[in-house]
């Protein structure tokens, strides 16, 4: 393990956390000498990863990470392919639509279209959540084997986001089995009180789930309107089918 590289990454992450910092502050935070930090930030600057404000002399990260990250995302192509379908869904339903992929044990939001109607849920692009905690994650986990899901969570404690949150691996597996049979995941207030979600999978030519699309809405909205909710799920499933088709998924 290269310690020097580790320190450089520490700096990058620290700057990402704090926005901008001077050499001395970084030095205190990481408990390394000023000169060491200076040398490291200089290389990062040379390489275009950080930038120094000429006035305050403070350093901050550049957009290079954003750029590199986006290249990685667009390699997958999911966002570009899915976006128009998400827009259509948003237009039809007037609710918030999310697109997410699995990153380790987390689901990461890679695109979203916000409803002007809904209570704003602050889950911006790039944000992550434990996969088990969101409908997007469950729909992705549902297409993995139970063994894999178990192994994935064997060391984890489940966070109780709301009173309805799933708290045991057993309950999760039951829910995932349910999701598998339905072909989508619907949940009420498991993550945020008052919020419901329906998520559908995006599959590729290998029939693998590569992403998930969800719609989020206040729980009360369709409580007395089952017909409308069914209609929305229909539309979601259709979008899932169309997007998956673009990735070579047939039938």
Partner DNA sequence: ATATAGGGTTTCAAATATAGAAACACAAAA
Partner DNA sequence: TTTTGTGTTTCTATATTTGAAACCCTATAT
Q: Shortest gap between Cβ of 236 and DNA (angstroms)?
A: 39
**Helices 78-93/226-246 angle, 10° precision:** 160
Nearer to a second copy, 28 or 47 (CB): 47
Judged by beta carbon distances under 5 to 8 A according to partner kind, the member of DNA, a second copy, none in contact with residue 62 is a second copy
**Helices 34-46/3-18 angle, 10° precision:** 80
Q: Which of 113, 106, 104 minimizes the C-alpha distance to 128?
A: 106
Q: Exactly one of 9, 13, 16, 35 binds DNA (CB under 7 A); which one?
A: 35
Nearer to DNA, 58 or 246 (CB): 58
Tell me if 204 sits within 8 A of 210, measured CB to CB: yes
Q: How far, in Å, are 43, 48, 179 from residue 161 at the CA level?
A: 42, 39, 20
Cα of 82 vs its chain's centroid, Å: 15
Q: Shortest gap between Cβ of 74 and DNA (angstroms)?
A: 24
- Residue 60 sits at φ, ψ, to 5 deg, of -150, 160
**Which residues in this chain contact DNA in the complex, by CB under 7 A?**
1-5, 7, 22-25, 32-36, 38-42, 52, 57-58
**Which residues in this chain contact a second copy in the complex, by CB under 8 A?**
1-2, 4-6, 8-9, 12-13, 16, 19, 39-40, 42-44, 46-49, 61-75, 80, 83-84, 101, 103-104, 108, 110, 114, 116, 124-128
């Amino acid at each position: 393990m290269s310690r020097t590289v580790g320190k450089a990454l520490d700096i990058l992450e620290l700057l990402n956390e704090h926005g901008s910092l001077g050499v001395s502050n970084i030095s205190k935070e990481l408990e390394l000498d000023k000169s060491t930090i200076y040398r490291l930030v200089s290389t990062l600057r040379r390489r275009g990863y950080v930038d120094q404000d000429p006035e305050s002399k403070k350093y901050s990260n550049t957009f290079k990470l954003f750029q590199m990250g986006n290249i990685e995302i667009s390699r997958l192509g999911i966002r570009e392919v899915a976006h128009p379908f998400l827009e259509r869904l948003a237009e039809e339903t007037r609710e918030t639509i999310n697109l997410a992929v699995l990153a380790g044990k987390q689901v990461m939001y890679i695109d979203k279209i916000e409803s002007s109607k809904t209570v704003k849920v602050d889950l911006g692009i790039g944000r992550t959540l434990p996969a088990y905690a969101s409908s997007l994650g469950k729909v992705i986990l549902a297409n993995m084997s139970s063994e894999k899901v178990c192994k994935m969570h064997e060391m984890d404690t489940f966070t109780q986001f709301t009173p309805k949150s799933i708290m045991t691996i057993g309950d999760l597996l039951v829910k995932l089995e349910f999701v598998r049979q339905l072909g989508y995941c619907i949940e009420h207030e498991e993550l945020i009180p008052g919020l419901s979600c329906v998520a559908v999978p995006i599959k590729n030519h290998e029939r693998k789930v590569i992403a998930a699309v969800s719609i989020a809405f206040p729980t009360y909205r369709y409580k007395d309107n089952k017909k409308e909710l069914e209609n929305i799920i229909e539309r979601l499933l259709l979008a899932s089918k169309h997007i998956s088709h673009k990735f070579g998924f047939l039938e």
